Structure 1
């Protein structure tokens, strides 16, 4: 009985803490402070790429990101060697990374040079440095060991021991206690430009659900077309149901939509939020998921509102069809905050926004993520080489830069019913929560970002613009009436609150019929998947999250179809190396704004979500298969089953012996 009970207890404890040991590490501080790898962001520096070079450049940019991800994984696996030999990281990880990056950068310059003017200065951006995350004070990464790009990181010291801090998180690379702040201690910091005559005061809302059907993948068709796992982290998708790495413009136009108004086939996506609770999701051992530090239970949002607002100084014009906008910077932790646009708050406290901290909300208050997208357009391009220069933020007075015109501003508000984590025990009692990120970004809240592709019908877009310019409140679930003015610009009008789309919009037949495979019959990772493509809506729904728990079902992660020809955006001229674009002055900084990385010979570049590839050295062309579930979990628990049998047998023997003696 004692032996059987021991087997049960030991095995169940080991299974519960597998891949989740980071939570205990946060509490005890017995691990090294998590390091990260800083590499200048090449993609953000290219403001113009000729059409003929786009495919080659996108492929090499994806390869650059894969190289960083592979180096980061090697870094985390070499902790013992680095502790014994501080020069190991530079010689075995950072220097080889520089060589690989130099080759990719050379191919980028060659591709652009064949079509136009060869970019200058890219070679200087090949070197990377190993940095301490400096998590004890919650600041941005700082150089470790005095390494400079010219040294290739050879002198980088091993990550230093830091009492009371650690790598943290179920994935072992964050978050940590310093990444959270009590929202009640933050002073109100939201400002609103004064409305002027000639401004546009209306609002238009679109209701597209909360991704209850579990549509996820780790692609990003904007920055990594044709590359599986181009984001290196998982995204929630609402609206367009065909968004994956291989979706062409025509695929998006022909797709089904989860939006209540079927005229809105736009795609809205953002990094998933996870609870660091030890749960094994289906991506636990897959690229983009657990193998890149994105672990734990994916939380389904409680509410998502999509509101398009006007401009305080002028009328708005129609968004061009297939306009692409990325707001925020997925690499802001190493790039610096120049393009960061994260806004974290709590219901009831949305007049105070955090930029580089996750909020600790009081009881009864929910976590809120808010994205206010760029609302000025250059009038010509639907995209740009660095996915930024074709759009801009309005100035402090609400006006657009010279040469830009005002378009409806998308305000995306996502609410989660998650409890404030128990920081005193590293989230063991109440789990930590954090967004998915690139592995080297350590799940910092400043890296939060949102993506949008406009696929509105022309008629619905005209209706939106007319509504906003005439000062009305319109759209799905909104009454046709003048909008209610609000002192909090991050919240849409109460009359514009969305309704869930009808059942048929969530389970509509896909544009290209496919047979859905039951989750229990999903193919292994090395087998071709017969699941529907990522654009196919699921017929089932995930259970909405309860307070502090998130969704209870495993997510459906759809495989991507065979590669299709992706459309490109026209641009002219050779590659141009740009400086970081500045965020608008209208957004007052929150407490403890993340500082830009310092102490390096290379200035922190502006960033955007830059593409990457899968786990191999070559870009992946096949999707990530869906695995996991009870079968895999049970395989790890067989000693506990055996122990249970021993325990039961011992109890029966004891009972019979006692009965015979009587």
Structure 2
């Protein structure tokens, strides 16, 4: 599958306009506000009424991209571009939501009439174009896509990820939109922004690792896909921790050809030609940070930031501070990239340029069906948590683990929703019918992070994963991306090591 090779960027004027619109909010500092006002707060009646009228914390839009299938190859680029435009529309609507709190307090219909209604109309126009592009390319568009045009406001106290995270054995009651009393509205300013204007995280997004049940994650979460039977070997590739400072807010898999398609910043290791406009040929010919030069694969994930007031290089840029991703970027102290086998049998080689996304950057509003985040602390890695950031004891480091889907449909290197060509193993460790086992990528990232202070329902100096603005930096939105660009000899070596039970690197 070819990729757009044009190295164009969004015109500077467009960035300036977008940045100026955001910067106008906070007198030189961004306020992508996380307004968790409580309808039950103490105080005069007019404050309670105003707070109740401003309960909408974020915007929840159906994910059109995840509903797409059967998009002809020659329509993929256009469709991905349209989906990226929809993401930008949500970002703009969330900005409007965060900067009109005074108007919302005075008019209970303001959000619907001024934000959600016009957003629905704009999304409907894009859905119509997507349907037309699919039909023109010889496919058959789903007539029901129009039903996905409407968005809703999510109240601060309402769970925002489906049924919550109560199925993985963790203590806690799932996402509650922040769980804090917001302290009321005062001139539209936020009391739960940790003092830096960032939309989350909030105190309820953190948990002491000692309060997480041990052994609460299993293979259905993509963990422990390998076992004592089948193919038991491993192959470890060392690609560093992004010493070359390769950062951008593009997403070559989900939004090829679109500048700032991720709306958050990624760390990159491995392939060094990683932007939205990189073709397969570009990737194949690029330099790599991997010790084994036969591995030009791209491994990338959203950065973690410590919200300590540091102004990073992207403090005024889209994808960075202009979209609520603020604070000091934290590089991993370790980035372990390992390929493992399958419980039931041998693995086969991955095709070159296979693309895999694990986790869901929008799982706070999409629900947890595709969530695959896993957070822990060194010395406590039998305790894995999905919907909370861990508070680690002194001497322990934060650990992010992403264990990828390891069953391939045997035909496609990508799919319209970037998911259907891949699957997780089933409960018995085998692949679903029609899928075959490939080496499973396991990414383990270890960070030295000062433990945030949580007191009286407030968190100070929190760390958080970069996210789409409306996802409020929730830990459940963590995700990881991979494009296989190993040469044939190296991929065969990986397969041989795993199938023969050897540990190679």
TM-align CA RMSD: 2.7
Shift of 1:284: 1.4
Shift of 1:190: 3.9
Task: Provide the rounded CA distance (Å) in 1 between the counterparts of 2:55 and 2:484.
Answer: 42
What corresponds to 1:210 in structure 2? 241
What corresponds to 1:44 in structure 2? 66
What corresponds to 1:177 in structure 2? 203
Query: TM-score under structure 2 normalisation?
Result: 0.82
Q: 1:160–1:414: structure 2 CA closer, same or farther, 3 Å change rule?
A: closer
Q: 1:76–1:321: structure 2 CA closer, same or farther, 3 Å change rule?
A: same
Task: Provide the rounded CA distance (Å) in 1 between the counterparts of 2:87 and 2:231.
Answer: 41
Query: TM-score under structure 1 normalisation?
Result: 0.63
Listed as ranges, the matches of 1:399-478 within 5 Å are: 399-424=430-455, 426-428=458-460, 431-475=461-505
Task: Provide the rounded CA distance (Å) in 2 between the counterparts of 1:105 and 1:320.
Answer: 32
Shift of 1:118: 2.9
Contact 1:229–1:287 under 8 Å retained in 2: yes
**Structure 1: gaps spanning 5 or more residues:** 1-14, 144-158, 476-662
Task: Provide the rounded CA distance (Å) in 2 between the counterparts of 1:22 and 1:131.
Answer: 14
Residue 337 of structure 1 aligns to a residue whose secondary structure is coil
Among 346, 368, 371, the residue aligned to 2:399:
368
Residue 237 of structure 1 aligns to a residue whose secondary structure is strand
Task: Provide the rounded CA distance (Å) in 2 between the counterparts of 1:323 and 1:101.
Answer: 30
Contact 1:20–1:276 under 8 Å retained in 2: no
Contact 1:25–1:168 under 8 Å retained in 2: no
Task: Provide the rounded CA distance (Å) in 2 between the counterparts of 1:247 and 1:300.
Answer: 24
1:168 paired with 2:199, answer no
Kindly provide the CA deviation profile for residues 349-379 of structure 1, in whole angstroms up to 9, marking residues without a partner as x: 1011000000000110000000000000000
Shift of 1:340: 0.2
Q: 1:282–1:315: structure 2 CA closer, same or farther, 3 Å change rule?
A: same
Task: Provide the rounded CA distance (Å) in 2 between the counterparts of 1:407 and 1:116.
Answer: 30
What corresponds to 1:117 in structure 2? 140
What corresponds to 1:284 in structure 2? 315
Contact 2:359–2:371 under 8 Å retained in 1: yes
Shift of 1:113: 1.3
Among 338, 350, 354, the residue aligned to 2:369:
338
Contact 1:33–1:160 under 8 Å retained in 2: no
Residue 415 of structure 1 aligns to a residue whose secondary structure is strand
Task: Provide the rounded CA distance (Å) in 1 between the counterparts of 2:265 and 2:99.
Answer: 22
Shift of 1:162: 3.7
What corresponds to 2:150 in structure 1? 127
Residue 204 of structure 1 aligns to a residue whose secondary structure is strand
1:186 paired with 2:212, answer yes
Listed as ranges, the matches of 1:87-166 within 5 Å are: 87-114=109-136, 115-134=138-157, 139-140=159-160, 162-163=182-183
Listed as ranges, the matches of 1:620-635 within 5 Å are: none
What corresponds to 2:221 in structure 1? none
**Structure 2: gaps spanning 5 or more residues:** 1-25, 164-178, 185-189, 219-223
Listed as ranges, the matches of 1:608-647 within 5 Å are: none
Question: Comparing both chains, which one has the higher relative contact order based on Cα–Cα distances under 8 Å and sequence gaps of 6 or more?
Answer: 1
What corresponds to 2:171 in structure 1? none
Q: 1:234–1:33: structure 2 CA closer, same or farther, 3 Å change rule?
A: farther
Kindly provide the CA deviation profile for residues 598-651 of structure 1, in whole angstroms up to 9, marking residues without a partner as x: xxxxxxxxxxxxxxxxxxxxxxxxxxxxxxxxxxxxxxxxxxxxxxxxxxxxxx
Kindly provide the CA deviation profile for residues 57-113 of structure 1, in whole angstroms up to 9, marking residues without a partner as x: 112111111111111111111111111112111111110000100000000001111
